[in-house]
Structure 1
Amino acid sequence: MSKSTLEMSRQEWLEDRKKGIGGSDVGTILGLNKWKSPYQLWLEKTGQVVIEESENEPAYWGNILEEVVAKEFQERTGKKVRRRNQVFEHTLHPFLRANIDRDVVGENAILECKTANQFLGKEWEGEEVPLSYLCQVQHYMNVLNKDYCYIAVLIGGQRFIWKRIERDQELIDTITEQLVEFWETNVLGGIEPIIDGSQATADFLKEKYADVEDVQTTLPIHFDELVEQKNELKRTKKEIESAIRQVDNEIISELGKREASIGITQRNIISWKLVRTRRMNTKKLAEKYPDIANDEEIYSITESRRLTEKEIK
């Protein structure tokens, strides 16, 4: 089953995304998206927050260059591809959706077009494909019942790679099980996903509850256990940081004895670089230019909340 997206406005398209799980949601639900957590996606799917409409720069250029990547794939492979302006739905689970980039003519296959930062090139070396993309195209093959998928990527605007990815039914089954669980239990069932430790969740919660009132409330007893767990983790963190500093100190000591800033081993290049930073000395500024230092217009005030714990004696 499928429906056309040609006549959809931007707002209609965003609203329609709430009605199912698309390819871009797969990595998030599986915990592979460092920019968005399952908790944040759950809030979007249940209509508790507004889906962000603005595109960031990489996403914008990814959309613009999709046609370029598709054409280059045709040039390099001799294959023909066609655009499908439709949202496809899984036959057994209609909430599982796919909005593919291209169909491959004459083959039971699809083409997924990507762009990547030049610093992410290692993720595409050899047979490697970023795990989130691998899961995304396996999801597409499941929804459309395809045998394989081609994925083409333009890296850093100057390096083109394409690969063929075979259908992996075992992986598809694992992915589908988690997607169905998320939709039926969390979205339809209204059960909040477990709060995870991702930076995406932390940033979202800080923004969502930035304006809470400064009032006191009584928390359940298990939050004492959470505080103790946090304290234990902080103690472990200090031990790990101390162990890392010890290794650093041994390396710096040896480099210093050899009067060198770069050391070469069989497997590593170790450098102790001089880093210069430039900061304003506000004390000196106030002494030399008191009028400027006291001018409130040159200061920007930011507010944030800090979580602290103090044992009740």
Structure 2
Amino acid sequence: MSVQVILPADRAAWLDARKQDVTASVAGALLGIHPYQTPYGLWAEKSGRVASDDTDNPVLRRGRLLEPVVIEMLREDRPDWTVEYRRDNAYYRHVEHRIGATPDAFATRPDIYGRGIVQVKTVADDKFRREWIDADTGEVVLPLWIAVQAIVEATLTESTWACVAVMVIGRGIDLQIVDVPLNTRVMNRLRREVREFWRMVEECREPSIDWNRDGASIVDVYRDSMPDRKDLTQVIGLDGTVCAFWDARQDYSHASKIMEATRPRILHALGAAEAGFTKNWNITARTSVRTGPNGQPVKSRSLRISPKENPDARF
């Protein structure tokens, strides 16, 4: 297997190395099982039509900062394991298949032959119960996209086993260790999907669009217009789509005008009171303060209305 190992000098070099491949963390998108990425979104990114979002966010920051803590918990909970944690962002890529991965850690253990990969995850306890626990059996069931990520990491590093060490964060912290079966059929199918994906990128062919999830990517891909007038009469169903958009915009415009006209009357009736009621409605309009563009305080009142369950009640 032609696998190249890249030791990036910094985060920028690591991100640059990943651009040429489908990486393990998003591979599940090509199998239709990724909650945060789609084939079209990945195609838009890898074809250069949109920029990849490499900015840190609270969830990524949590994972990055707590990763060493998870490793220490793993060492405490599995004292008979030898855990190798380099923190060097070593990037493994199959040159021909253009699949890549950065394992978090490696380990050896007495009950399984050979070296394995350890994938580290952190998750809030409510999300863990919702997405990681089987409602019928109460057992931990690994999300499929995470299992695919572990399988890719193990395959590229020629590891004999894989596991996910997930820190569950609630009032305290708990560590769950989940073994991942190395299903060769999953990897074989992924290779086929990745091969077709790169062919579509090279031929400028779009993958199937998920209209419920790909809206933001489509808007980003077609953010720049050209001085052209296009005949769209042959696009099946587009007239109906345009009509639906037109109707919704007219309804929104009409609703906005009504809200603009009625809001001042309601606030005038409330005066300085932050809450009030009519026979059928409860009303609140509390003042909030935000910082303006020049650092000045900007006050506003958010008007909220809800129907009264009992019209005869005084609240």
- For 1:23-38, list aligned pairs within 5 A: 23-38=24-39
> For residues 128-179 of structure 1, what are the alpha-carbon distances to aligned partners after superposition, in whole Å with 9 as ceiling and x for unaligned?
1011101111112222222210111011252210021221112222222212
Displacement of 1:207 in angstroms is 4.9
Report the equivalent of 2:267. 285
- SS at the partner of 1:159? strand
Q: Which has the higher strand share?
A: 2
Counterpart CA distance in 1 for 2:43 and 2:226 is: 25
- For 1:263-274, list aligned pairs within 5 A: none
Find 1:114's aligned residue among 121, 126, 129.
121
Report the equivalent of 1:7. 9
- Structure 2 gap ranges (5+): 134-138, 245-261, 272-297, 302-315
Counterpart CA distance in 2 for 1:44 and 1:116 is: 26
Report the equivalent of 1:218. 231
> For residues 189-211 of structure 1, what are the alpha-carbon distances to aligned partners after superposition, in whole Å with 9 as ceiling and x for unaligned?
33221222232x11233455567
How many residue pairs are counted as aligned between the two chains? 242
- For 1:76-91, list aligned pairs within 5 A: 76-78=77-79, 79-84=81-86, 85=88, 86-90=90-94
Report the equivalent of 1:75. 76
Counterpart CA distance in 2 for 1:121 and 1:202 is: 28
- SS at the partner of 1:223? coil
Q: Structure 1 residues 282 and 139, CA, compared in 2 at 3 Å: closer, same or farther?
A: farther
Q: Which has the higher helix share?
A: 1
Counterpart CA distance in 1 for 2:159 and 2:52 is: 30
Report the equivalent of 1:259. none
Q: Match of 1:118, as an amino acid?
A: D
What is the root-mean-square deviation of aligned Cα atoms in Å?
3.3
Would the aligned equivalents of 1:18 and 1:46 in 2 still touch at CA under 8 Å?
no
Q: Match of 2:50, as an amino acid?
A: V
Report the equivalent of 2:152. 139
Counterpart CA distance in 2 for 1:209 and 1:44 is: 13
Displacement of 1:215 in angstroms is 8.3
Counterpart CA distance in 1 for 2:32 and 2:268 is: 49
- SS at the partner of 1:218? coil
Would the aligned equivalents of 2:14 and 2:91 in 1 still touch at CA under 8 Å?
no
Would the aligned equivalents of 1:82 and 1:103 in 2 still touch at CA under 8 Å?
yes
Question: Normalized against structure 2, the TM-score is what?
Answer: 0.66
Find 2:204's aligned residue among 171, 190, 204.
190
Counterpart CA distance in 1 for 2:229 and 2:268 is: 40
Report the equivalent of 1:181. 196
- For 1:37-52, list aligned pairs within 5 A: 37-52=38-53
Counterpart CA distance in 1 for 2:202 and 2:158 is: 26
Q: Structure 1 residues 127 and 177, CA, compared in 2 at 3 Å: closer, same or farther?
A: farther
Would the aligned equivalents of 1:139 and 1:175 in 2 still touch at CA under 8 Å?
no
Q: Match of 2:13, as an amino acid?
A: E
Counterpart CA distance in 1 for 2:216 and 2:264 is: 30
Q: Match of 2:83, as an amino acid?
A: V
Displacement of 1:22 in angstroms is 1.0
> For residues 271-301 of structure 1, what are the alpha-carbon distances to aligned partners after superposition, in whole Å with 9 as ceiling and x for unaligned?
xxxxxxxxx9542225677xxxxxxx8789x
Would the aligned equivalents of 1:115 and 1:154 in 2 still touch at CA under 8 Å?
yes
Runs of 4 or more off by more than 6 Å in structure 1? 297-300
Q: Structure 1 residues 207 and 22, CA, compared in 2 at 3 Å: closer, same or farther?
A: closer
Q: Structure 1 residues 21 and 213, CA, compared in 2 at 3 Å: closer, same or farther?
A: closer
Q: Structure 1 residues 137 and 226, CA, compared in 2 at 3 Å: closer, same or farther?
A: farther
Report the equivalent of 2:103. 100
Q: Structure 1 residues 216 and 161, CA, compared in 2 at 3 Å: closer, same or farther?
A: same
Displacement of 1:49 in angstroms is 1.7
Counterpart CA distance in 1 for 2:239 and 2:7 is: 47
Counterpart CA distance in 1 for 2:74 and 2:224 is: 50
Displacement of 1:53 in angstroms is 2.7
Would the aligned equivalents of 2:85 and 2:105 in 1 still touch at CA under 8 Å?
yes
> For residues 215-274 of structure 1, what are the alpha-carbon distances to aligned partners after superposition, in whole Å with 9 as ceiling and x for unaligned?
86421424237848x99xxxxxxxxxxxxxxxxxxxxxxxxxxxxxxxxxxxxxxxxxxx
Counterpart CA distance in 2 for 1:52 and 1:218 is: 34
Displacement of 1:114 in angstroms is 0.3
Report the equivalent of 2:218. 205
- SS at the partner of 1:33? coil
Find 1:170's aligned residue among 185, 198, 201.
185
